[in-house]
Structure 1
Amino acid sequence: MSITFRKSGIAVALSAALVASGGANAAVEVYNQDGTSFSVDGYFNAFYVNRSDELADTRDSRIKMGFLPNTIGFNFSKDMGDLTLGGRSSFWTTINDSLDSPTATAIDVRQFYATVDGDFGQLLIGKDFGLYARNNIFLDEILMGFGSPGAAGGVSFGNIRTGYPYPTPSAQMTYRAPAMGGLNVAVGLLDPADTATGAGDENSAPRLESEVSYAMDLEGVSLTGWVNGRYQSAENGATEVDTSGVGYGVKASLAGLSLAASGFSSSGDNPVLITNAATTEDDADGFLVQGSYTFGANRLVLSYGETDAEVLDLETENTTVGFFHDVNSNFKLVAEYNMYESQVRSSGAASEEFDTVALGAIVTF
């Protein structure tokens, strides 16, 4: 991108996914003069989805968007001598509500923040994705695919709840240290989730999240490793809920072959997404293993993930085979087969079983 401040959120996600597939992603520069720049980036996609519900013995066909919603983002940067001021706002829209609300398409703002860059590093203030589980999802090989089923009429879940939780966009003040070779460190204060709800609930401190990542090249092998985490405490009278989580992963690439493994472990956290909702200090954990091979304009992906959540009384697993073809640097075709299963953890009873074929097209700029 033409902006000088560090990329974040969807810009990082798309860059990682496009680089993995051999493509490129560059925003359209609208203005760049006298140290001030403004650029726009976009992501558009649609999938034909044919899903078989094995438990209900029914089949459903839809035209839906993929795991990443359709997005348009605006990027700002201004050189102020020793400091560079920047900002990003991105607007995410669904196409899945076509007949549910024919003329009222839902739009949400997952990023709306400013940045201050200098020799000290970077300070981000505003709303952005969290640091906990950030690289787990942004380095997912099927990020630009479809993945496991989500809520009816909503987005698909990719590998959310089958290998990692969602780094819910939150109000935050995040510091990123200057890059030290391949080492990157970020620490943030985020708006706390109300996990001890009711009259008299108290959140006396913000949520603390952090991420440390390291990238290096070892005799032609590109290696990336990361650890991220979160902690907070909430009270309601005699009830106190301490929540914590740690995410981790490693990814290795050589020539066209890429192998990745990641996971998480948490206590008191919702392993799907962080929200204001009462919870307990029960545990959850999960893992995701993936392999991909790129040959020419094509990328073949095999993915398997699991989540075991005492806190939600569920066990899930998800297997995906995906094929991505770059028609050119801004146009991609996707074919994916997904098998998702969920069961009640305490009883072992099957609760969901879906097999999904998804055929999609993606345009970026």
Structure 2
Amino acid sequence: MNNKNLRKSGMVIALACAMGASMGANAAVELYNKDGTSFSVDGYFNAFYVNRDDGVSDTRDSRIKMGFLPNTIGFNFSKEMGDLTLGARSSFWTTINDSLDSPTDTAIDVRQFYATVDGSFGQVLIGKDFGLYARSNIFLDEILMGFGSPGVAGGVSFGNIRAGYPYPTPSAQITYRTPDMGGFNIAVGALDPADTVTGANDENSAPRIESEITYSTDLNNVALTAWLNGRYQSAENGPNTVDSSGVGYGLKGSVAGFTLAASGFTSEGDSPVLIANEPLTEDKADGFLVQGAYAFGANKVVLSYGETDAEILNLETESTTVGFFHDINSHFKLVAEYNMYEDKNRTTGVTTTDDDTIALGAIVTF
């Protein structure tokens, strides 16, 4: 299928990286392909049995929850128009854990709803998509299709968000991506800014600027991927000004079934969890994530460790995950995972969360 925007969409990149050889970047059900026009649908469905031991409250809880990636259905469109290829993607993400909180009312959010124009110049994306800052940090996470650290009671887990990287919050944007330049790819975007100062008349005189540089190569059968991303914005209200900035980075290498990866971030005046309209200070945060994985046959074993030290939230976290992934076939995967997550008050050193979690899940894709 000749669909450039599909190959570059966040969901497809994420799943392709997470599933490796078991899922290509063009995995979808093609419904129409004729005269340069194509339309396809892709889906991701999962559920986990989760057993959690809460060391702070000394309680044990069992749930049926979804994993780090919510259940999703996406629609992709592509049309060749002379030297240009027009594309579009809309994806709908839903929780399966709101049934008892809001009976018969399922929360659905739209994280991608954009159009693309591809040509020899590269690509321009207009609409809503994941941000560029911390994008590869999360999409190249080895436990992306697992469970990870605890999240909110009625939604997804947090994976390694707040314990290694922040979330690249989907935002309205206009983003330009270069063509491939010998393994280098550059993306620069103007994104809708967040109000980060207190008051009713926040002023954002310029958009949020985010960018990412990625480089992929193969050196003597060692597949290497490196990335550097960042963001900057300034918000003010009278004498109150908050300048927000962040830098993310990482390196991942694979050879003969073995994978080693290390990534990190540092930020100032920026939430280390997710970008949102909320009052912030110009305090700092930083974190890192290190992972090792070994794939053999239809199996993959992952060991992951991440930390975040957030002066801005007065928080210190660490998360350790051991995961086992088994492909029944190219569209059906089983997951077993054990996670140890802890966070502390940075000032007092008091432990606020101390959870050990066992998660057993199944994933179906098309």
TMscore range, shorter length: over 0.9
The answer (yes or no) to whether the contact 1:9–1:129 under 8 Å persists in 2 is yes
State the distance in 1 between where 2:154 and 2:79 align: 40
State the distance in 2 between where 1:273 and 1:104 align: 25
C-alpha distance after superposition, 1:257-316 (max 9, x if no partner): 000000000000000000000000000000000000000000000000000000000000
List alignment gaps of at least 5 residues for structure 1: none
**Secondary structure in 1 matching 2:4:** coil
**Secondary structure in 2 matching 1:323:** strand
Q: Are residue 73 (structure 1) and residue 91 (structure 2) matched?
A: no
State the distance in 2 between where 1:2 and 1:110 align: 23
The answer (yes or no) to whether the contact 1:2–1:27 under 8 Å persists in 2 is no
Q: CA deviation at 1:8?
A: 1.4
List alignment gaps of at least 5 residues for structure 2: none
RMSD of aligned Cα (Å) = 0.9
The answer (yes or no) to whether the contact 1:3–1:39 under 8 Å persists in 2 is no
State the distance in 2 between where 1:4 and 1:32 align: 14
Q: Please tell me the residue identity of whatever aligns with 1:339.
A: M
The answer (yes or no) to whether the contact 2:212–2:229 under 8 Å persists in 1 is yes
Q: Are residue 107 (structure 1) and residue 108 (structure 2) matched?
A: yes
Moved more, 338-347 or 22-31: 22-31
State the distance in 2 between where 1:311 and 1:52 align: 28
- Which residue in 2 is equivalent to 1:158? 159
- Which residue in 2 is equivalent to 1:302? 303
Q: Please tell me the residue identity of whatever aligns with 2:56.
A: L
Q: CA deviation at 1:2?
A: 5.1
Describe how 1:43-62 pairs up with structure 2 within 5 A: 43-62=44-63
**Secondary structure in 2 matching 1:270:** coil
The answer (yes or no) to whether the contact 2:2–2:78 under 8 Å persists in 1 is no
**Secondary structure in 2 matching 1:263:** strand
The answer (yes or no) to whether the contact 2:50–2:65 under 8 Å persists in 1 is yes
Q: Please tell me the residue identity of whatever aligns with 1:345.
A: R
Q: Please tell me the residue identity of whatever aligns with 1:181.
A: G
The answer (yes or no) to whether the contact 1:244–1:266 under 8 Å persists in 2 is yes
C-alpha distance after superposition, 1:69-127 (max 9, x if no partner): 00000000000001110000000000011211120000000000000001111000000
- Which residue in 2 is equivalent to 1:347? 348
- Which residue in 1 is equivalent to 2:287? 286
- Which residue in 1 is equivalent to 2:4? 4
Q: Please tell me the residue identity of whatever aligns with 2:4.
A: T
State the distance in 1 between where 2:15 and 2:226 align: 19
State the distance in 1 between where 2:245 and 2:12 align: 27
Q: CA deviation at 1:220?
A: 0.8
Q: Please tell me the residue identity of whatever aligns with 2:135.
A: R
State the distance in 2 between where 1:87 and 1:24 align: 19
- Which residue in 1 is equivalent to 2:190? 189
- Which residue in 1 is equivalent to 2:180? 179
**Secondary structure in 1 matching 2:15:** helix
State the distance in 2 between where 1:210 and 1:352 align: 34
**Secondary structure in 2 matching 1:202:** coil
The answer (yes or no) to whether the contact 1:287–1:305 under 8 Å persists in 2 is yes
- Which residue in 2 is equivalent to 1:141? 142
The answer (yes or no) to whether the contact 1:75–1:86 under 8 Å persists in 2 is yes
State the distance in 1 between where 2:233 and 2:24 align: 38
The answer (yes or no) to whether the contact 2:15–2:23 under 8 Å persists in 1 is no
Q: Please tell me the residue identity of whatever aligns with 1:186.
A: A
| TM-score, with length taken from structure 2 | 0.98
